[in-house]
Chain A
Amino acid sequence: MSVVGLREFHSFEAAGRRYLYLVPSAAVFALDDCSAAIVDSLGEGPRAIDELTRDLAARFDHVEVTDTIAELQRVRALGETAAKPAPMPKIVPLRPVPLQTLVVNVTNQCNLACTYCYEYGEDKIVDTENGQQPKFMSEETAREAVEFTLRESRENPHAHITFFGGETLMNFPVLKATIGYARRRAAEAGKTIDFSLTTNATLLRPDVIEFLANERVGVTISIDGPEDLQDKFRVFNNGTGSYAIAAPKIKALLARHRSRPIGARVTLTRQTLDVSRIYRHLTDELGFWEVGFAPVTTAPGRDYAISDGGFDHLLEQFRTLAAEYLAASLQNRHHGFSNVRETLQEIHHGHAKAYPCGAGLGLMGVSTDGRVALCHRFAGSDDHGFGTVRDGVSWEKQQQFLDTHHVSNKTDCQTCWARPICAGGCYHEAHTRYGSTNRPNLHYCEWIRGWTHTCLEIYGELAERNPGFLRQFDDADAPEKVS
């Protein structure tokens, strides 16, 4: 008689039901009483099938138990111990992947001097202040970036450009000209194209706002919350806080720009860990539709770095706000905590990632001199470059990157149930923490698992109590968020 044991999954409960999040497939199944009893019974270790059916005979008849075992085997939640689970194949794309998003750093200059900045702060990769690169991207390079985007989008009928910096709006003239040029060239190529940008909001003038609204440019504002929190790190060169300048401009933008939802992007530090208060301020008082939070990227030991205990505290705060999201969603009301929405979307599709993000795959970043790198955070770095917008990128280099950064290379991730959704985490974060892009971000594993578990519970709760709400996630993904 064959002996069966549990395979890899993460189990969770929601709305009084038991669920399995299967690894590595990322499929979510709900259990009935019989399957839950089998899973529990095997939790103590592998057992022979006849022994298992005998033990459960008081509660379930023989046929029911064997049928259920067959179903659990079918979805690979359990398997015969004699047969080893087949290893996940390592599949690296064999031919160039269409580019979906090009992040164009139109300038590496900024009118703020945020102390934690990954571009200018202590952990910078490229010396943009004393380096060889121009401070502003020329119109010519920007046009080449457009041509590159259209060319590299290959068979895709749609292309997307995200403008980034430095402070993006410091090079508004080039941005403006580039959008016009890109629209014309996309139409000639028979493609559609759209745009987004990230800004600190301090340079939003009425004419800029007018342009962004008319051109339907998606806008993300970097802001850390109410005045006291914003002004801790997001300061001008002379140390004055930026809130007083930014806030009225944000209000003006939100009042005028209605063609695309406008989101806030918050950097969390040890000193500004107050998620609910930040969220309230940004939505209720400033009027943002969505707010996304990300812990600051930093080497360990920096004053603003979130320590281990800080991550626990952060998780607790995320959970509180996520509970609000769930309550609103059960009543089909909007809630703007975008971290939950994005994770729910991934859970809904059952994404099982080989790579943590699209960098080097469907997303790349361009520096002001037109060099193409892994993503905008590495723009201008020769060590992480693939080529230039002028001469194109090397597919061999890209493939080599994809080969060495596949999740199967990350030994630490192989025993983690959250790897379908995390795949080791941000390359830039790993580079900053451990000096190498191919290292998994072990400092936030607990946080990722805790957060994924919370989102699975919310997903299960919605699947049971308001399944219609999840239909909004059926469509293919929106372009990748850049921060």
Chain B
Amino acid sequence: MKHLTPINLKADRMEAATRPDKKDVVALQQGPPQQPEPHIPHGCSLVFAPGWEADRNGGTAGLCQPVERDLFDCHMGCFWPAQVPDQLNHAPDWTAKCAAAQKDWRKIDLIFPDEKKK
């Protein structure tokens, strides 16, 4: 702080606790001003990310992250042992028609094991 000088111990603590560069867990919907840096890893189990399964009303409309993000995070961003297609070898294009998961998730290809190759 440039214009206020903390004088007592409580003011020191307040200054330290409200320092703007201090990172905190924030929801994606809060947008850039509250979240100056990328928040990595997204949705990893190491991070407390409330609102994955249900929003405050018990529905999914107001989730702080879209449910589809969960699928993609299992697939790329973060280790989570979920069954997703192997994008490196067998199904490189399984998400090609899905530019934005929240909108296009219905276009994600269904992948079936290729019986002939066996």
Contacts and interface: CB of A to CB of B under 8 A. Distances in A.
Contact of A34 (B3, B7, B11, B18): B3
25 contacts: A26-B10, A27-B14, A28-B11, A29-B5, A29-B7, A29-B11, A30-B4, A30-B7, A35-B3, A64-B3, A71-B2, A72-B3, A74-B18, A75-B14, A75-B18, A347-B8, A349-B8, A349-B9, A349-B10, A350-B9, A350-B10, A352-B10, A459-B7, A459-B8, A460-B7
B6 interface: yes
Interface string A9-51: 0000000000100100111111110110000000000000000
Chain B contact residues, majority secondary structure: mixed
A461 to B, nearest CB: 11
B1 interface: yes
Interface of B: 1-11, 13-15, 18, 20
B10 A71 contact: no
B18 A27 contact: no
Contacts of A72: 3-4
Nearest to A344: B8
Contacts of A75: 4, 11, 14-15, 18
Interface residues of A, number: 30
A25 B18 contact: no
B52 to A, nearest CB: 27
B18 A67 contact: no
A68 interface: yes
Nearest to A467: B7
B4 A32 contact: yes
Residue of A29, A349, A352, A459 with highest tally of chain B CB at under 10 A: A29
A22 B14 CA distance: 11
A423 to B, nearest CB: 16
A28 B9 CA distance: 8
B4 A35 contact: yes
A348 interface: yes
Interface string A346-378: 011111100000000000000000000000000
A29 B6 contact: yes
Given A74-B18, A75-B18, A31 B10 contact: no
A35 B1 CA distance: 11
A67 B2 contact: yes
Residue of A72, A75, A459, A463 with highest tally of chain B CB at under 10 A: A75
A348 B4 contact: no
Nearest to B1: A71
Contacts of B5: 29-30, 32
B3 A68 contact: yes
Contacts of B6: 27-29
A351 B4 CA distance: 20
Contact of B11 (A64, A67, A350): A350
A477 interface: no
- For the complex of A and B, 4 pairs with smallest distance between CB atoms: A350-B10, A27-B11, A30-B5, A28-B7
B4 A71 contact: yes
Given A71-B4, A75-B18, A348-B9, 17 more contacts: A27-B10, A29-B6, A30-B7, A32-B3, A35-B4, A68-B2, A72-B3, A74-B1, A75-B14, A347-B8, A348-B8, A350-B8, A350-B13, A351-B10, A459-B8, A460-B7, A463-B7
A31 to B, nearest CB: 7
A31 B4 contact: yes
A163 to B, nearest CB: 33
Contacts of B8: 26-28, 347-350, 459, 463
A284 interface: no
Contacts of B1: 71, 74
B4 A29 contact: yes
Nearest to A26: B10
A32 B11 CA distance: 16
